[in-house]
Structure 1
Amino acid sequence: MPQTSQPLLVVEDDDIVRMLTVEVLEELGYQVLEAADAHTALVVLQNTQQSLALMLTDVGLPDMNGKDLAVKARELRPELPVLFASGYGDVDIPLGMHQITKPFSIDQLRDKVQGILQAI
């Protein structure tokens, strides 16, 4: 059961991976906003009328590194939890941010998101 009524932002350039991730999160009861690139994600992040519970981002995006996006996201929303999804194993992520390795199972994604949101 989701711990938040605020939507999650999923930033993923691979259409199939993004669609599946969004579908899983919605099936788990979360509201989800999606972005195919960092530019689109920044538009959402800059909209102060839009609340967000968490941003899940791919590390490798076509227009900006996911870590750079996370830094910009934290400049705009200092308290926003960030979860990186990477197919490269352990990635050097900024302090206070989280990581999940692709491919991940539905249970792994659920547990990771719930753990982050419970810690807020």
Structure 2
Amino acid sequence: MYQTTQTGTNGGSLSLPTLLIVDDEPLMTEMLSAYLTRLGYHIETACNGQVALELIRRKSSSIRVVITDMVMPVMNGVQLALQLSLEAPEIPVLLATGRDAHETSLNLPFNVVEVVQKPYQSKVLAESIKAQIGKSALEI
């Protein structure tokens, strides 16, 4: 089990949007965290859906977007999204998969706003996150 916090290089974490990365592959999490930190985001991480859910229960007001792997032990990404749709429906979920994204997108909870393909395409992922943060800012 791991949970880390990284802060972008443009100042203190209070003004930065916070993203939660949920993946059971530490290398994938580290690489994605480093990239998103360079883009100016504050990063929280969890190794599975259960750890993520516990973190969100403590910090739900600060987490703007969840990026979760689909296949993980304990609680997978779809199960996490389903639970979040009940407990924190305002948090958009990007579901990451190495499988066919179209096939995966069937019958997902409403809060899964996008299925993103792994390996990540950095620019595509960055735009998806930016779009979700923009939407949530409009709703505040």
Match of 1:74 among 75, 85, 97: 85
- The residue identity in structure 2 corresponding to 1:111 is E
Shift of 1:25: 0.7
Corresponding residue number in structure 2 for 1:95:
110
Q: Please state which structure has a larger fraction of its residues in helix.
A: 2
State the superposition RMSD in angstroms: 1.7
RCO higher in structure (CA 8 A, sep ≥6)? 1
The Cα offsets for residues 44-67 of structure 1, whole Å up to 9 and x where unpaired, read as 111157521011100001112211
Match of 1:59 among 70, 83, 97: 70
Q: TM-score, normalised to structure 1's length?
A: 0.88
Aligned length: 117
Corresponding residue number in structure 2 for 1:44:
55
Q: Which runs of 5+ in 2 are unaligned?
A: 1-14
SS at match of 2:63: coil
Query: Which 4+ runs in 1 deviate beyond 4 A?
Result: none
Contact 1:86 1:99 in 2 (8 A): yes
Hey, what's the Cα distance between the residues in 2 that align with 1:71 and 1:94?
Answer: 6
Q: Which runs of 5+ in 1 are unaligned?
A: none
- The residue identity in structure 1 corresponding to 2:83 is K
> Which of 1 and 2 has greater Rg?
2
